[in-house]
Amino acid sequence: MKNKSKRKKIKQQKKRVQPSVNWPKEWLYLNEKEITPEDFLKVFPEGGPLELQVWKEAGVIEVELPCGKSIDMEWGEPDLGEETGNAFLEGKNTKALYYVTVVPESFEEARTAMKTITEMLGGGFFGDNKDFQPQIYKKKNSPSLSMET
């Protein structure tokens, strides 16, 4: 009898330990500079802690995370096809845009890689939704990264 009640308590605790933010699966990586897939090779050099696959001609990048999941990035023209989105891109002076997919369950590991990208290449990650939240970026003239939810 006691084991059943302990299992029930453990299940309840696991349910309560959900992150306070519902991380999106789809993101946008924006940069004020022209960033090519080759530029990501500088961020994650061969033999480093994260594996990187780059398909230059297709404009596709895959960052393999330690958990076995990946961050998938695909280059796109800086045009979201609608007025509000394009105004946001203009406000960020966007020259490079990548569509990013992250498995939400692996977000903590993905966030580390995303921060590394923004530290090395600049730009930022923005939720691919109507309010572009959450955001991961490096503030101008600041040595630290910001994350807004």
List, for residues 9-47, the tens digit of each pLDDT value. 555 544 444 444 578 999 999 999 999 999 999 898 888
What one-character-per-residue DSSP string does 45-103 give? -TTSSSEEEEETTTTEEEEE-TTS-EEEEEEE-S--SSHHHHHHHHHTT-SEEEEEEE-
Which H helix or E strand runs over 52?
A: strand 51-55
Residue owning tokens 């959900």:
18
What pLDDT score does 92 carry?
Answer: 95
Which pLDDT tens digit goes with each residue over 92-146? 999 999 999 999 889 999 999 999 999 999 999 999 999 999 999 877 655 444 5
pLDDT value at position 62? 96
